[in-house]
Every structure is written in structure tokens, then in C-alpha cells.
Amino acid sequence: MSAGTETLPRGGEMPANEFLKQLAAVIRAEDSYGSWDGKPDAELLEEYIVTAEERREMPIMGDPDPDLLWRVEKFYEAVALLLEKRTGAMAAQMSKIHHEGFGRIVLISGRLVVLSKHVRDIHRFGFETYVRLAEAGEQASRDAADMIARFPDAASA
């Protein structure tokens, strides 16, 4: 069997990307006993992958479970840390998620809401590929940096 006919792994290849590195680091920070030391980043992030087929099988409505809310929180924590690396601005996360899975997530820096996401169907949170996951994190971090550039005084108040 040649390499060309191999099926890509679930979520596709994992690109070398700063956001993905940051997200993996955020998750490793929770691993007090080093039990994940041997795991590659792709494995740590695999629960962020939801393929099109998996998504079709998910119910339209659903209550998000604690593991999923934890993953959402880590996602935005990584966005905030990447933002800090790139702009120096520290951002705190707040969220208000209804138990039925809709709500709002914000990152706050000083007096500025640098990122504001209204979410729904959060029980379906996930990305088809690692590339998409990386793009989403990079985009969120860029949006936040743009907002700081727009209102620097409020961000440092």
C-alpha cells in the first residue's frame, strides 16, 4: 500500500501552529502528575475535533457536559495567553452559559471587552480538522488584538 492511499487521521494532519501549541500547553498545565507527558499534542487536542459525520449524529439540542465546558474554557484561555504574548495585554475570561448550551463568552482586558462571542448549541463545539481549530484560535486572538489597537485607553484602564 503506497502512502497516497493511506487515510488521513481523524482531524487531518496537525499543522505547526502557535495557537495549537498554546492550547496543548494550557491542557498540559492541568496534568499535575505528568500522566500525559508521553502523549503527543494531537492526542491531547483530539477532543476538539468533531468531524462532519460526528456532527450529523449529534442531537440538535443538548445539554453541554462539564468536560465540554472545560474544553471551551481552555480554548479561550489559550486565546487569551496568545493575545498576551503578542500584545502584552492580559485578559480575563468570563462566561454565562445557560444549561441548555447558549450564552456568551467574553475576554476582558482592563475595561475593554476584547472578545465577545455569543454561542449557541455549545454541546456541538468542535472543529472538523486541526487546521480549522488553529484558524479559529488565531482568528479570535487577532480579533482581540484589533480591539485593543482600536481602544487602547480602555484596555489599559
Binding residues (CB under 8 A) for a copy of itself: these are: 92, 94-96, 104, 106, 108, 110-113, 116, 147, 150-151, 153-154, 157
The β-bridge partners of 93 are 107
Q: Which is nearer to a copy of itself, 106 or 131 (CB)?
A: 106
d(CA 62, CA 123): 6
All three cell numbers of 64: 453541554
Evaluate whether 82 touches 17 at the Cβ level (below 8 Å): no
73 by Cβ neighbours in 10 Å (0-12 / 13-18 / 19+) ranks as: middle
- The least CB distance from residue 81 to a copy of itself, in Å, is 18
d(CA 59, CA 124): 9
- The least CB distance from residue 111 to a copy of itself, in Å, is 5
Q: Which is nearer to a copy of itself, 20 or 91 (CB)?
A: 91
- The least CB distance from residue 157 to a copy of itself, in Å, is 7
- The least CB distance from residue 53 to a copy of itself, in Å, is 35
Q: Which is nearer to a copy of itself, 85 or 111 (CB)?
A: 111
DSSP 7: P
